[in-house]
Amino acid sequence: MGKEFLMVALLALFSDVVVPRVTELTAAKAAPQAEEGAEEPSEEAGEEATEEEPDADEVERLREENRALKELVGEKELALRQAAD
C-alpha cells in the first residue's frame, strides 16, 4: 500500500507543481514567437529565418529554476517515503 500512496502523491505533486510551470514557460515562449509572426515580412523573404540564440542569462535562470524544482520534488519524494514507512 505504501508504494501506491507514494505513486499517487508523486503524481499529484507533478500535476500541481511541474505541469503548471511547464505550461507557463511554454506560453511565455510562444508569445514572442506569435508577435514575430505578426510583423511584416523582411526584405530577405526568400531566405530561411534563423532562430535567435537564447540569451545566456535566460538559459542560466532556467537551469537554476530547473535545479530548484528538482530539489523540491526530491524533498517531497523523501517526505512521502518517510510518511509511507
What pLDDT, in 10s, does the model give residues 30-61? 777 666 665 555 555 544 455 667 788 888 88
Matching residue, cell 506569435:
34
pLDDT band for position 14 (50/70/90)? confident
* pLDDT on residue 18: 77
Q: Is 47 helix (H, G, I), strand (E, B) or coil?
A: coil
Q: Which segments of 14-55 does DSSP mark as H helices, in order?
A: 19-38
Overall pTM > 0.75:
no
Question: pLDDT higher for 9 or 65?
Answer: 65
| CA dihedral over 30, 32, 35, 37, signed as positive or negative | negative
Q: Which three cell numbers stand for residue 64?
A: 537554476
